[in-house]
Structures are given as C-alpha cells and as structure tokens.
Amino acid sequence: MIDDLFADSPPDWCEVLAPGAMVLRGFALPRVPDLLQAIDAVTADAPFRHLITPGGQRMSVAMSNAGALGWVSDRRGYRYDAIDPDSGRRWPAMPRAFAQLALDAAGEAGFDGFTPEACLINRYAIGARLSLHQDKDELDYDHPIVSVSLGLPAVFLFGGFERSDKQARVPIAHGDVVVWGGPSRLRYHGVLPIKPGSHPLLGEQRINLTFRKVR
C-alpha cells in the first residue's frame, strides 16, 4: 500500500531537471570497465578528431562515432553520415555494452525500446567546452537522447527553448547518465569549460557518450 502511494515518485538517485529530462546519478558506474574497453576499441578504428563548424571554427571537443550513423560537421554543415570522412569506411559498429546501457537508462527514465543508431563520443581535454545548442539534426524528436559522462566532472548548462533563456547549471560526475526527451527534447544546452584536474581512471579528460535515434 505504502509502495502504491509513492509509485510515481522517482528513486532518490534520479534527479528530474524538467518534464522528460533527468539525471540518473551513477547509473553507468557498474559498467565503466566494459565501456572504457569499448571506447578504446572504437577509437582505435575511428580516432578522435576536432571537427570544423560550418562557421569555420575548430571545435575544442574531439569527436568520434559508433553505430550505423555518425554525427559530423564541416564547412557544408552538420549532418549524420554512415561513412567516417577520415577513413572513407563505415563507423565502427555500436558496441553491445553501449547499446545495452542506452536501452536500460532510457527505460529507467520511462522511454521504452530505445535503440539508437548513433553514438557520438566526445572527448574534452581541460578547458574544452561545448557552446549552447539544440540537438535538432535528427529526423524526429519522439525519441530521447541518452548522455553518459565519464572522467572529469563537468557543469552542464540546461536552458529553455530560446537561446537567451536563463540556464540552470547542473554538476555532472563520472558515471552519471542524463536522459532527455519528450517535452524537453529541444531545450538549449551546453557544457562549461572543463576545470583542471585528474580523474583516477581517465586522467585529464572527460568523455561523453551521446546516443541518438536519428531516423
């Protein structure tokens, strides 16, 4: 009976940011060894690189991808492509540990059956940042985004639907997973410059995995 009273309240490790957006604190921690092994395998095949924005700026975040589609940027624009422009080959397949984590985290947040075809892997050195943006290069916004953080902590900027809306500053730690969908899918967001430090497992970097269903 008591359980029924609380059936709709999230567990205390789930922090709701807005309707459809939440942080699952430490959700990825038990899977970190498998994730790191998979990241090494993917980035041996498709090394991290600094993409150029359509405006001609070199991004401070280095990127790679796994899955049937990868997110890329160059002078022509932002898009998803099955081919890694650096190698001319397909992106490495989505590792099983990635797919399972994305499915489980989305399910925990109330989005069942999340089967992303793209995982963008972001590597932040100290000082790297991601300026305020919306994720809107996907064809439909019915699916959530699942974002996994590893290594150095970060401050996630969580805004509204206009670039100028006030942003919340959300501290994000190693192992945290942000799930972001439904009415929050198009909120502006970004990452403040990573502060100097060294993480016991990852050293002087933050790695973020962002899973998306594109088509």
Contacts to ligand MD6 by CB under 6 A: 122, 130, 135, 145, 147, 178, 180, 189, 191, 208, 210
Q: Cα(96)–Cα(35) distance, rounded to whole angstroms?
A: 9
Contacts of 88 (CB under 8 A, 6+ apart): none
Closer to ligand MD6 by CB, 7 or 104: give it. Answer: 104
CB of 5 to ligand MD6, least distance (A): 32
Contacted entry of ligand MD6, Fe ion, none for residue 65, CB cut-off 5 to 8 Å set by kind: none
Coarse DSSP helix, strand, coil percentages of the chain, rounded to the nearest 5 percent: 15, 35, 50
CA 137 to chain centre: 14
**Counts for the chain of helices (H) and strands (E), in that order:** 3, 13
Closer to ligand MD6 by CB, 19 or 87: give it. Answer: 19
Contacted entry of ligand MD6, Fe ion, none for residue 167, CB cut-off 5 to 8 Å set by kind: none
Closer to Fe ion by CB, 84 or 135: give it. Answer: 135
Closer to Fe ion by CB, 90 or 153: give it. Answer: 153
User: CA dist 124 to 53, 93, 127, 149, Å?
Assistant: 17, 23, 8, 11
Question: Is residue 135 involved in binding Fe ion (CB under 5 A)?
Answer: yes
Binding footprint of Fe ion on the chain (CB under 5 A): 135
